[in-house]
């Protein structure tokens, strides 16, 4: 019950007694808020500590010191230096006097990597296309304000939910099993996950539209599809383009990982490098992915701003 | 064009406990210009939306000529909506589409799925749309985005959209309630001209008595979902008006009449 609803329940509508009633209600409300806050914080803290404990954050482990003796240490300070060791191992040897040769050695597999990078981007591109088509078509029946009936709404929402809840890597495993190793499994995996994610975003945009234009189309004798096409799509188009570009970036990242389970792209090289402990290869691959993502990020942001700018103008 | 009378028999619509339209029985002859008045919540909008079948009646019948309208479904229902065009207080145009496409929406009932989704319209349809716009002096704006027009201009585009539907009845739900007096006059004049030139039946909700008096052949007054008065505008004597609006409502109402000349919502239309 809201405060105003409680207030109107009191007989005095004005005068000192009304003010007193307000003070009383206000004090009660404040007290209740404070209790709620305290209980909430306690629950949060308890949950946090429990998860930390389950996650071995409090574990004490044995470490070997420099003089060879072994000692018990809390796991976090004990493990942190190893992160440093790992990162240092991935550094390539780059000397100023032989920079060209060193770089060539660092990126020694550049021909394979370049081919796989292109494959990665193509997987992301095709997956985004499939995701946009699926997400776009399903987002309308999956919007509360647009769904023709509640069954269609339920089915579409749950399909999208399943598609996006299962991670790309898991879809990739399944599709590699069905269609064997290769980029097709990757396209399907990333595309299916993107369908779910985009469908959700699109349908949220749909749920915020002005319904009056749709009513106008309906009153003129338009079908449900006409209402969507003429009333809804023009309203959400800038949002759709913006989300799509954002998704492309995310899909490039996803596509560079799924090769780990054999679904095409750079991921397979990451796996090889890890299992053969080729640490400098790992850093080279990291640099390649990082640069690609930054470039795509930059490009799509520029495009997105233009789209949003176009949407605002006039 | 076939000219039929529209008759409502015991038309009722309930929302939960609340009866918005209560056993309305009326016959509207072809070519009449009918105004519906009544205080807020009287059921005027609900009545119009029932006729266009944007909402379904709880009871009663809607008959046009020899066709029973209240149980139409699917294609036949969409066809009926095309026959009785509707314009709204908030225009209900698609702001992001250009004026021409907005008008062509009035042709959608004639289209199949593919051409409609592809926004493919024939040259004849475009000609129809431009002619309709021209009748309302809006042809020069045909390629502008609808959202950039003023309220009065948008309402005229909405009327053009209604015209390309080739309707037999024109329903208007407070078409001038968010317009300034100058634009309001233009829109009402356009409706009157369409009524006279095309012989189209016009049924419009109005929130001011003077508009009803100056444009309507016949005025229907509603209160609590029922018809309280039905007759020529000249029959709206003070006593009748007090019956319709109640004495408290009358004060409220006269205020809204006078405020028309200094429209409170005028700033919303200076787009
Ligand atoms: N979709 C709806 N759901 C529930 N109640 C509704 C709905 N539409 C209308 N009503 C109710 O029906 C009654 C009549 O509403 P209606 O909009 O027809 O009145 P009106 O005469 O057009 O009023 P106004 O002049 O304010 O537009 C009101 O009490 C309203 O609250
Ligand atoms: Mg109304």
Tens-place pLDDT, residues B161-193: 999 999 999 999 999 998 888 889 989 999 999
What domains are defined for chain B? 6-269 (3.40.50.300)
Q: How far apart are CA A49 and CA A46, in angstroms?
A: 5
Atom of ligand 1 minimally distant from the CA of B173: 22
Q: How far apart are CA A244 and CA A129, in angstroms?
A: 9
Span A181-194, average pLDDT: 94
Residue B218 and residue B231 in contact, taking contact as beta carbons nearer than 8 Å: yes
Please indicate whether residue B42, judged by its CB atom, sits closer than 6 Å to ligand 1.
yes
**Angle, nearest 10°, between helix axes A75-90 and A279-312?**
90
Span A91-107, average pLDDT: 84
Query: Could you tell me the pTM of the whole model?
Result: 0.81
Q: How far apart are CA A137 and CA A140, in angstroms?
A: 6
E strand map for chain A: 60-64, 70-74
Average pLDDT over all residues of chain B: 87
Nearest CB neighbour to A314, from listed B81, B92, B145: B145
Min Cα–Cα distance to chain B from A210, Å: 9
**Residue A68 vs residue B168, higher pLDDT:** B168
Span B136-159, average pLDDT: 93
Atom of ligand 1 minimally distant from the CA of B39: 25
Token pair recorded at residue A45: 């803290």
Select from B20, B173, B244 the residue to mutate for testing ligand 1; criterion: most ligand atoms less than 8 Å from CB: B20
- A308/B contact by beta carbon, under 8 A: no
- Predicted confidence at residue A39, as pLDDT, reads 97
Pick one of 1.10.3720.10, 3.40.50.2300, 2.60.34.30, 3.40.50.620 as the CATH number of A111-312.
Answer: 1.10.3720.10
- B92/A contact by beta carbon, under 8 A: yes
Residue B234 and residue B211 in contact, taking contact as beta carbons nearer than 8 Å: no
Residues with CB under 5 A from ligand 2 (ion): B 45
**Residue A92 vs residue B136, higher pLDDT:** B136
Q: Is residue B255 very low, low, confident or very high in pLDDT (cuts 50, 70, 90)?
A: very low
pLDDT in tens, A161-182: 999 999 999 999 999 999 989 8
Ligand 1 midpoint to CA B53 (Å): 15
Residue B78 and residue A219 in contact, taking contact as beta carbons nearer than 8 Å: no
Q: How far apart are CA B166 and CA B173, in angstroms?
A: 19
Nearest CB neighbour to B52, from listed A219, A231, A235: A219
Residue A170 and residue A107 in contact, taking contact as beta carbons nearer than 8 Å: no
Q: Where in chain A are the domains?
A: 1-80, 111-312
Q: How far apart are CA A146 and CA A229, in angstroms?
A: 12
| CB atoms B85 and A235 under 8 Å | no
Cα A266 to Cα A122, A125, A173, distances in angstroms? 12, 15, 16
Residue whose pair of structure tokens reads 């306690």 in the numeric block? A42
Residue B178 and residue B268 in contact, taking contact as beta carbons nearer than 8 Å: yes
- Predicted confidence at residue A306, as pLDDT, reads 81
Residue B53 and residue A215 in contact, taking contact as beta carbons nearer than 8 Å: no
Residue B158 and residue B92 in contact, taking contact as beta carbons nearer than 8 Å: yes
Please indicate whether residue B43, judged by its CB atom, sits closer than 6 Å to ligand 1.
yes
Residue whose pair of structure tokens reads 């409706």 in the numeric block? B191
Chain A residue numbers with beta carbons less than 8 Å from the beta carbon of B79 are 221
**How high is the ipTM of this complex?**
0.88
- Predicted confidence at residue B3, as pLDDT, reads 80
Q: Which long-range contacts (CB under 8 A, 24 or more apart) does A146-153 make?
A: A146/A206, A146/A214, A146/A228, A146/A232, A148/A224
**Residue A178 vs residue B264, higher pLDDT:** A178
- CA nearest B98: which of B57, B126, B68? B126
- A215/B contact by beta carbon, under 8 A: yes
Please indicate whether residue B50, judged by its CB atom, sits closer than 6 Å to ligand 1.
no
């Amino acid at each position: 019950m809201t405060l105003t609803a409680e207030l109107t329940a009191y007989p005095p509508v004005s005068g000192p007694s009304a003010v007193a009633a307000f003070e009383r209600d206000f004090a009660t409300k404040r007290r209740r808020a404070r209790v709620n806050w305290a209980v909430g914080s306690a629950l949060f803290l308890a949950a946090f500590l429990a998860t930390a404990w389950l996650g071995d954050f409090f574990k004490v482990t044995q470490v070997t010191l420099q003089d060879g003796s072994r000692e018990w240490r809390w796991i976090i300070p004990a493990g942190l230096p190893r992160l440093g060791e790992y990162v240092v191992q991935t550094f390539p040897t780059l000397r100023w006097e032989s920079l060209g040769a060193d770089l060539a050695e660092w990126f020694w597999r550049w021909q394979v990597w370049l081919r796989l990078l292109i494959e990665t981007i193509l997987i992301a591109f095709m997956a985004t296309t499939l995701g946009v088509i699926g997400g776009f078509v399903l987002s309308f029946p999956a919007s509360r304000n647009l769904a023709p009936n509640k069954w269609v709404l339920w089915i579409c929402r749950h399909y999208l939910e399943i598609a996006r809840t299962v991670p790309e890597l898991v879809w990739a495993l399944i599709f590699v099993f069905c269609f064997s190793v290769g980029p097709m499994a990757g396209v399907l995996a990333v595309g299916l996950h993107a369908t779910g994610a985009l469908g959700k975003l699109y349908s949220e945009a749909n749920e915020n539209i002005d319904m009056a234009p749709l009513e106008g189309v309906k009153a003129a004798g338009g079908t449900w599809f006409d209402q969507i096409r003429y009333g809804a799509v023009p309203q959400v188009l800038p949002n759709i383009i913006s989300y799509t570009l954002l998704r492309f970036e995310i899909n490039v990242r996803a596509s560079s990982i799924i090769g780990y389970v054999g679904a095409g792209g750079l991921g397979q090289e990451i796996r090889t490098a890890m299992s053969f402990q080729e640490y400098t290869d790992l850093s080279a691959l990291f640099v390649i992915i990082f640069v690609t993502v930054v470039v795509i990020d930059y490009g799509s942001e520029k495009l997105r701003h233009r789209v949003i700018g176009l949407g605002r103008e006039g | 064009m076939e000219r039929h009378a529209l008759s409502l028999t015991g038309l009722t619509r309930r929302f939960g406990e609340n009866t918005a339209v209560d056993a309305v029985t009326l016959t509207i002859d072809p070519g009449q210009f009918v105004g519906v008045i009544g205080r807020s919540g009287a059921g005027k909008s609900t009545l119009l939306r029932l006729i266009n079948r944007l909402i379904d009646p709880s009871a009663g019948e809607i008959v046009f000529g020899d066709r029973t309208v209240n149980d139409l479904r699917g294609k036949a229902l969409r066809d009926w909506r095309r026959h009785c065009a509707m314009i709204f207080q908030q225009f209900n145009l698609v702001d992001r589409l250009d004026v021409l496409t907005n008008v062509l929406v009035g042709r959608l009932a004639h289209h199949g799925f593919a051409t409609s989704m592809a926004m493919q319209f024939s040259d004849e349809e475009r000609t129809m749309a431009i002619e309709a716009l021209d009748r309302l002096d809006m042809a020069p704006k045909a390629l502008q985005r609808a959202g950039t027009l003023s309220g009065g201009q948008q309402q005229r585009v909405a009327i053009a959209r209604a015209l390309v539907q080739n309707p037999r009845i024109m329903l208007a739900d407070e078409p001038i309630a968010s317009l300034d007096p100058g634009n309001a006059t233009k829109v009402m004049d356009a409706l009157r001209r369409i009524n006279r030139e095309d012989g189209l039946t016009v049924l419009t909700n109005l929130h001011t008595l003077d508009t009803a008096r100056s444009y309507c052949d016949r005025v229907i007054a509603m209160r609590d979902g029922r018809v309280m008065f039905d007759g020529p505008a000249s029959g709206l004597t003070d006593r009748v008006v007090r019956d319709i609006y109640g004495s408290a409502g009358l004060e409220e109402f006269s205020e809204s009449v006078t405020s028309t000349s200094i429209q409170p919502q005028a700033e919303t239309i200076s787009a």
